[in-house]
Every structure is written in structure tokens, then in C-alpha cells.
Amino acid sequence: MRAMTLDLPPHADLPQRSSPVVLCILDGVGIGRGEEDDAVVSARTPNLDRMLATYPHMRLVAHGTAVGLPDDGDLGNSEVGHNAMGAGRVIDQGAKLVNEAFASGQAFETEVWKKLCAGKTLHLLGLISDGNVHSHVDHVHALVEQAAAAGVQRLRVHVLTDGRDVAARSALTWVRPLEEALAKHTEAGRDYRVGSGGGRMHITMDRYEADWDMVARGWAAHVHADAPHRFESATAAIEALYEADPEVDDQYLPAFVIEESGGIQDGDSVLFFNFRGDRAIEISRAFEEDELSTFDRGRRPDVFYAGMMQYDGDLHVPKQFLVPPPNIDRVVGEYLAHAGRRTFACSETQKYGHVTYFYNGNRSGYLDAELERYVQIPSDNVSFDERPWMKAAEISDAAEEAIASGDFDFVRLNYANGDMVGHTGDLEATRIALEVVDRQLARLERAVKKVGGVLLVTADHGNADEMYGRNKDGSVKREEDGSAQPRTSHTTHPVPLILIDAEDQLKLRTDVQGASIAHLGGTVLALMGLGLPDGYLPSLVAKK
């Protein structure tokens, strides 16, 4: 339920500003240990360095329970990070909600679960790892065991390999035990096995309609059992694909099909078991929409389809889901719109939904079309280490125009470079990416100062700040040839918050304990001259 009232009193000390407040999110730019693999420190970033030396700044927590994840060991990610910033408080996120629903057994008492188990074959499709960003492998094992207990005789798991939220070539860590567990059920008289698979950045898990060909490749493998490679098992597939291309990591493994998988047929049931929404929407649409023009699906099987969660509550995608998603009401954007404040949001395709959909509490479209303008800069459809500059300059172009126009009270933008290039594991490319972003920071600073505004520079989680895999003792993991093992996943390092006030009237508070990115919601409202909503974490800014 949405709040009955969004009325807020004026802020006690900060009046409404006539100049804009700009929230700049440096995606994936954390504060690391400063070692050789810390691309944030080792890149040439004179503007960021100067800002940290000149302006008020502090560290914010951007992972674990501070952003609604189950455990403080859980890596932060862009989805929960932008949710937290826009919600202004800690919201229990998908991973935690699924854990609770599975532990209590509530998920398996639903009509959705019963219908899934009633299909001729139950297909479980999703990301296989313990990254806990999009999914968790423990959920897959629980689903397999619950299916067996419910009497399911035929089951297929379609494995999307990770290498992005976990180590680059770690798929067998989870696939081998999964196939062993499935084999035990087959030995007990059931027909349980892997059906198909491939890398998450090559098949199935596209987002923001950046590359529907990914979804088409996944659809062909999962549904039609049609892929360039066929193997006796997923373990054999991954081993062979590693050997065939020593450079490929799990993100980009080609699509493969397991012999006798059978594909997905009429009367089957399908559960997409990822809990995070952005990379689950398009494959859900492929199963559910009667009219879909984005690619030729060929035969579309008549199945019962459900998601682990509902990935878009406004569009009702998917229609059926196993666990209710987070209910994020009273977001910053709603309060601003209700108060008549005008908002501009911008990023490139890869992060556009983060400054809109996720920031707005998992809501599609405008909160108030008369007061808001959202701009998406189309991302290049290439590996991001090939073009580490991405669309940072174009985002700055749009932001500068919005700031100078006088048409907006709040401008928020996301530079995707630190995250998207960081995920490639290419240290040198990530350094270049951060150097590009650093130049954009100088542009934003000039634009904000010219109109007398306020600029907040922060990040949603760490990534580029640690580019080598590390052992528990902190030493660098090594490949067989002695080279450092690339790290492609996020980190648990804190992120910066830099306050740039053109009028030099503000300071950052030092009395807020456990400051996190969830405090940024109240901070933005305070800078807009609005009081703190019930339940919001306190603002981090005050008058000098």
C-alpha cells in the first residue's frame, strides 16, 4: 500500500533552494585498500583526488544489512544500492525475503508452487552461484528437494553461469555438486538433470532491452534445445568450453544443451529462480506475452510460468510468482513530486533503470510525468573493456544541459563505467574507465558551481576498488602461470560521499552512526528544504 499522505513540513534549518541539487552516482567505485589492483587509486584521477582533499567527505556503508541484505558478508549491488538511496531507509531485499520464505516453508505452501509441481516437467531456470545478487545456489538445491518431496518425477535445471558476482571461472564450484544432487534423484527413480546452459552475459539475462539477441539465444537453448554445443553433462560442457577458449570466463560461455534434455514442451512448468528483477524481465516477457516482436520465438510452449518474485509490480511481470517482492513505498521521488519539485534523471542503457525503476522503488515509468524527465543514452553493444569510456561524456552533456536550464530542482545521474568495466576483470581498462569518469566530475562541478547548486558525489557499491581475487588471508590468488587472478565481482568496501556546495554553507554531519547510502534519501529531501519522513534515516548534511 502506498502512503496515504506525502505531506512534509519545511526543513527546520534548510530552506528550499532556487538552484539544483545534483546526485552523481559513480557506479562500482568503492574505497579500497589502495593496493596495486585498486583501480580507483591507481588510475589518474586528479579531479576526484582534489575533491577529496578540498571538500567535506565521508565513507558510507553500501553492503550487507545496511542495504537490506541477509548478512553483512553480502556484497552490495546496484539494485539494492539504488533502492536504498531512493527509499531513504533499509528495506528487506529479495535475498532475505526468499531466505525467510524458504526457511518457514511458506513458499512451498502456495498455489503457485503446487501448479509448478503439477507440470509434466518442472524447469528451473536461473543463475547458478552463491553471489546472492541475482540468485543463490542454495535456493536451487532447496527447490530440487522440495520438488522431489512434492512428487515431481521429471525436472530440468537450466544453468546460467556467473563469473560476474563471483570469480571469473568458478562455475564448476556449483555445477558439479548440483549435478551430483540431481544424479541421486535419478538413481532413486526420478528423471532429474541439467537441460541447458550458458553465460549470463551471452544468453537469457539481458536488461533494459539492450540486446534481445541474448534472450533469443537463451530461448533457443532452453525451450528448443537448440544450441551450437551439445554435451553429456553441464560439467563436461564447461570443461570443454574452458579448454576450447582459455580466455573465456563464465559470463560469456556459449550456449550449450545437454543430450536428451528435451527442451520445454506444452504442459510443462517453468520457474525463473532469480530474485533480482532487472535481468529477469525480458525472459519472463518471452514466456508470457502473446505478442512479442523483439525476436522470433518459433514454437512457444503452453506452460505455467512463474518468477521467484514479481520483477515489475507496475507491469505485473511475471503474472505468477513464488515469493512476494519488497514493498518499497514513500520513495524520495514521490515526496518530491508531491511537493512540486522537478526531477531530471539520466544514465546510459546499462544503468538507466537504476536511476529510474530501482531508485523509484521498483516502479516503471514516471511518478509524475509533468514534473519529471528521464533520459536514456543508448549503450554500445560491445564488451565494455573494448570501450571503457562508455557513454560518460554523453551523460554529462545531458546533465549539464539540465543543470543550466533552470528547469529542474533535482538532477540524478549514474556513470556506469566503474561497474561495467570492472566486471570484465581488466585492470587497465578499468583504470581508463575511471580516468574518463574523473573528467566528467570536473564538468559537473563547473556546471553546478555556475548556477550556485549542490553536488553530491557517491557510489552504490564497490567493484573497481579491488580487481584481483584474494584468499582469506588477503593474499592475491594466482593462476597456474603465476599471474594474478582477476576479480570480476563487487566488494564490501565503503563508498565515498563528497559534498560540493557552491555557496559553501553546508557541512557533513559527524554525529550519524553507521552512515550508509540509505541515508541519502533523507539527505536529498533536506537539501530540497523538506523535513524528514517517518521511518527515514537522518540527513547527512547540516548548516555550517
Lowest mean pLDDT among 48-62, 278-292, 463-477: 463-477
Q: For residue 74, report the phi and psi dihedrals to the nearest 5 degrees.
A: -75, 135
Residue 271: its H or E element = strand 269-272
Long-range contact pairs involving 441-446 (C-beta distance under 8 Å, separation at least 24): 441/24, 441/47, 441/48, 441/51, 442/47, 443/396, 443/400, 444/22, 444/24, 444/396, 444/399, 444/400, 444/403, 445/47, 445/51, 445/500
Q: What's the first-to-final CA gap in the chain, in angstroms?
A: 39
| pLDDT (tens digit per residue) in 172-193 | 999 999 999 999 999 999 999 9
pLDDT higher for 312 or 83?
83
User: Does residue 77 have a pLDDT over 60?
Assistant: yes
Mean pLDDT confidence for 491-518: 97
Residue with cell 543543470: 403
Element (H, E) at 349: helix 349-353
SS3 177: helix
The answer to whether the beta carbons of residues 79 and 353 sit under 8 Å apart is no
- Residue 494 corresponds to which cell in the numbers above? 565503503
pLDDT, residue 195, reads 98
Q: Give per-residue pLDDT as tens, 410-442.
A: 999 999 999 999 999 999 999 999 999 999 999
Q: Give the mean pLDDT of 508-513.
A: 95
**What is the pTM assigned to this prediction?**
0.86
- Give the pLDDT score at 245: 96
Output the pLDDT for position 2. Answer: 42
* 498 Cβ contact partners less than 8 Å away, ≥ 6 residues apart: 51, 52, 55, 56, 57, 455, 456, 457, 458
Reading the block at residue 512, the C-alpha cell is 550519524
- Domains identified in the chain and CATH numbers: 26-92+328-467+485-543 (3.40.720.10), 95-307 (3.40.1450.10)
The predicted-structure confidence for 514-537, as pLDDT tens digits, reads as follows: 999 999 999 999 999 999 999 999
Q: Are 131 and 489 in contact (CB under 8 A)?
A: yes
Q: How far apart are CA 375 and CA 401, in angstroms?
A: 12
Catalytic residues: 78
For residue range 44-67, list pLDDT tens digits in order. 999 999 999 999 999 999 999 999
Distance CA 307, CA 280 (A): 8
pLDDT of the residue at 480: 82
CA distance 90 to 73: 16
pLDDT at 3 over 70: no
Query: Which of 4-18, 213-227, 322-336, 341-355 has the least mean pLDDT?
Result: 4-18
Determine the pLDDT at residue 4. Answer: 56
Q: What is the DSSP letter of 325?
A: P
Average pLDDT over the chain reads 96
What's the rounded mean pLDDT across residues 260-277?
Answer: 95
Q: Give, in degrees to the nearest 5, the angle at Cα 362 between 198 and 329.
A: 150
Cβ distance 529 to 13 under 8 Å?
no
Give the residue-averaged pLDDT of 231-243. 97
pLDDT bracket for residue 1 (50, 70, 90): very low
According to DSSP, the residues that pair with 192 across neighbouring strands are 155
| Average pLDDT of span 230-238 | 97
Please tell me the predicted confidence (pLDDT) of residue 491. 95
**For residue 459, which of 136, 15, 63, 119 has the smallest C-alpha distance?**
63
Question: Are the C-beta atoms of 344 and 317 separated by less than 8 Å?
Answer: no
Whole-angstrom CA distances from 6 to 3, 18, 148, 338, 530 are 7, 22, 48, 6, 11
Beta pairing partners, 317: 312
